[in-house]
Amino acid sequence: MNVIVIGPKGKMGRLITQIAAQREEMTLVAGVGPAGRDYIGDDLGKVAGVGSDLDVPVVDDLSKVIDQCDVLIDFSTREMSLEVLNLALQHKKALVCGTTGFSTEEMAQFRQAGQTIPMLYAANTSKLVNVMSRLLEIAATAIGNETDIEIVEMHDRWKKDAPSGTSKELGEVIAQARGQELTDMAVFGREGESLRQENTIGYHSMRMGDYPSSHIVTFGGFGERLEISHHSYNFKCFASGACDCVAYVVKQPPGYYSVKEALTF
């Protein structure tokens, strides 16, 4: 499969490029960065720190190279990802997107894209995080109505959106297990007199240093509590899972797919 990486100098883009370059079934055909960056025109291997040149260019105009690929993988920015989505639709290319921070209306565009192209959106491509989602579904079904639920998420100081896309997905798993909508349950932080309301999920976001990612979900009962958590030590687990998603979605017919389907557990 021929792959184009969007944002190859970014935190995730670099690792995705490095891992994809090692996979026999994947051929990197281009990297795409924002216009005006000083690395435009350089070799993708150099830009992503692969350790050797790949004889693959980094360009700033996706439209000029998109027809060379079978699938696009995009962990860039909200604005850039929306442009990538539009081009993927125009050229009928499979797309894996892991960018976060979209509005409800923008997310609807990705879901709708599944009517035309193989579209996989995942706020978190770690296999362990998605196992965590299964555990949360079990816990929420069993004790969700008799415990107080809080979500604490931690990320590096440069993360733009809060709460994280992953924590929202985890909250949605819990809400659905309880037959509710997360938008009706989420409470973001507390200040002053703030007694806990029934049927809510409390969110707390921490941003510090270069901390990769942690998500801790607590079910608080009386005299006991249950914690289900995930902690990443670096971003390689996400990049590896993202490449697994690419390998999955490129073989699928048009549709809107999830990381759970791609990682097959």
Catalytic residues: 155, 159
Three-class DSSP labels, the chain:
CEEEEECCCCHHHHHHHHHHHHCCCCEEEEEECCCCCCCCCCEHHHHCCCCCCCCCEEECCHHHCHHHCCEEEECCCHHHHHHHHHHHHHHCCEEEECCCCCCHHHHHHHHHHCCCCEEEECCCCCHHHHHHHHHHHHHHHHHHHHCEEEEEEEECCCCCCCCCHHHHHHHHHHHHHCCCCHHHHEEECCCCCCCCCCCCEEEEEEECCCCCEEEEEEEECCCCEEEEEEEECCCHHHHHHHHHHHHHHCCCCCEEECHHHHHCC
